[in-house]
Amino acid sequence: MQTGLSDTDPDVLRLQAELLRQATPARRLEMALSLSAALIEIAYAGIRRRLAGISDVDAGLQFVEIQYGRELAQAVRARMSETPAA
């Protein structure tokens, strides 16, 4: 089951695929959400490394711009400026 470029042993890839097939839907969802959270953390770390000293809010807005586009990020910024801080 070799797909693309991989340094993973083909036997290990087969075992991973088999374990994934055997996993319950709940476990597969848990794994997907965990991977997604890890990738988001990596993206935020990259933003903070590139833009040292950026606030959490600005890092979040930068993330939105990178992932979903400038138009949405501008709409979120505008909406945030309309909402009074609690």
**Separation of alpha carbons 30 and 14, rounded Å:** 21
Per residue in 4-22, pLDDT tens?
778 999 999 999 999 999 9
As a whole number, the mean pLDDT across the chain is: 92
pLDDT band at 85 (very low <50, low <70, confident <90, very high): low
Per residue in 43-72, pLDDT tens?
999 999 999 999 999 999 999 999 999 999
Question: What is the sign of the dihedral through the CA atoms of 15, 21, 24 and 28?
Answer: positive
**What is the reported pLDDT for 86?**
59
